[in-house]
Structure 1
Amino acid sequence: MLMHTSTPLSLCPLITQDVVRHPAPDGAPAPRARLAYSFTVPGEPRSPAVARHTVRNALYGHDLAVFVDPALQVITELVTCGALFAPGQDLYYSLRWREGILRLTTWDPHSSHTDPTHAAHCTSSRKRLLLLLACVVRECHGTWGITDPTPTTEGTKVWATLPETGAKTYGKRRC
Structure 2
Amino acid sequence: MRFAQPPLLAGVAAIALACAAGQALAADPAPEITRPAATPQAVGVVHTLRQIPEACARIEGAFTGDSAEPYRYAVVRTRPNCQPRARFVDAAKAQPSEAAGWVFNDLLRVPSVECPSQQAVVRVWRKPVDQTVELDGQGQSRIYIEEAKRAAAAGTIAAIPMYAAEMGVEGKACSR
Which interval holds the TM-score relative to the shorter structure?
Answer: under 0.3
Larger radius of gyration, structure 1 or 2?
Answer: 2
The structure with the greater share of residues assigned to helix is 1
TM-score by length of 1: 0.27
The normalised TM-score by structure 2 is 0.27
